[in-house]
Every structure is written in C-alpha cells, then in structure tokens.
Structure 1
Amino acid sequence: MFAQEKTLYQRLGGYDAIAAVTDAFIGKLDSDEQLSKFFAGLSDNSKMKVRQLVVDQLCAATGGPCVYIGRDMKTAHQGMGITESDWNIAANYFVETLDMFKVPEKEKAEVVNAIISMKGDIVEKGKM
C-alpha cells in the first residue's frame, strides 16, 4: 500500500500554523503606513471577521477541512482601490511572514502561487 501524500495544509502544519501566519501577516498589513487605510474604521469585531475569513480561505485552499463562506475575491475587494503598489507591499509581507515561520521553499512556493492567482480579482485595473 502506498502512503498518501500529505496535503499542503498538512505540510504547512495545519490550522494552528495557518492561523498564526495569518495573525502575523494581518498585523503587518494593519501596521503599514500605506496599507493600514484598509483597516481604518473597522471595529475589533470586524477585524476578527476578516482574520477568520483569511484563515478559512487559506485552510480550504491548501486542502484543509475548513469551508470558506466569504465573498469571492473580486466582490470582496471591489471599490477598495487596491493598487499594484499595495499588492506588492502586501505580497512582500506575506513572503516575509512565511519566512518568519520558516515555511519550507516548496510549500512557500505553492501557497504564494495560490495567492498570486487571486491578484487580478484584488488589484483594481488601472490603479498604480
């Protein structure tokens, strides 16, 4: 009998690891001078909802048991005015966070590629 290959979710360390990465990543976004505007005016409860949606989405996208019940990325980010510059800063923070948690290169590449696939739905066309 062949051993079944572990899912990306399992190789990343499961729910707690994904939640810890999400917490650190969102903390970086919320502390950034350029990106904190996207969190301005959100109550603590709303910030926790955003955090949980990100955890659930990453969990589901990596083969975990979570179910993402949020809106699609285009709808969720429509009208926010997210620019290419905003995207690049956030993407760098995401990679930096994965490095901080010592995510192996193979797994890091897989999860980053999943995030990159959403870029067209998050960055507003014509926004630099």
Structure 2
Amino acid sequence: MQPFGLGRDTAAQLLITAGDKPARLRSEAAFAALAGACPVPASSGKTNRHRLNRAGDRQANSALYHVVIVWIRYDQSTRDYVERRTEEGKTKMDTIRCLKRYLVRQLYPVTCRSLAGRTLTSNT
C-alpha cells in the first residue's frame, strides 16, 4: 500500500532520513518533527495560526512537499480539500502544511515496518 504520488526517490529520501536516526521514531509526531512537518505556533495578537517547523531534515521536507504538490495537481479529493480550506480563509501554504502532516500520518506505520529489523549501532 503506497500513497499516491510517492515515487522511488521520495520514498528513498524518507527512509534515509528515518533510518539515519531510528531511535528518534518514538511516535508519529516525532517522525513529523524529524521530517520538519510538524506545526509550530506562530500566533501574535488576535491571530491564531501555525507555521511549518524550520527544523528537521530539509530533504525529507522537500520530498513531502513534492508528494503533496502531486496530490494537489492530480487528485480530485485533494483539490476539493484545498478549495474547502481556501474558503475557510486558509492560505495555500497553510493547506500544504496540513497535507504534509496528513502524509506523515500515512507514512509513519510503513516506515516503522521497513525499519523493524534494523539493529541500532553507534557510529563511534
């Protein structure tokens, strides 16, 4: 079972990121933070919003971005979601941030299964 739009290059990059630090994959939220796809509060005054975390692996974040752009371009349900969020007043970048987080939720179990047999060794 593979999400639509996830190619060999993007899957490889996400597995490299996760496999580089398998001890950090305690939860789905930790995987999102590792890939730089977790929301960070960016509220000020009367506005209540989030922005994408600038920390994490930039190549993994780029891989997530490319999958989400393919979804927006070719998947009708994603286009409907983007239209609905735009009507709610969300910007396109806010919608992409939400879609990246959704993608991480789908990829976390698959990634954990892929890394299940890997033994942890230290590089010292």
TM-score of the two chains, using structure 1 as the length reference: 0.34
TM-score scaled by structure 2? Answer: 0.34
Higher relative contact order (CA 8 A, sep 6+): 1
Q: Which structure has greater strand proportion? A: 2
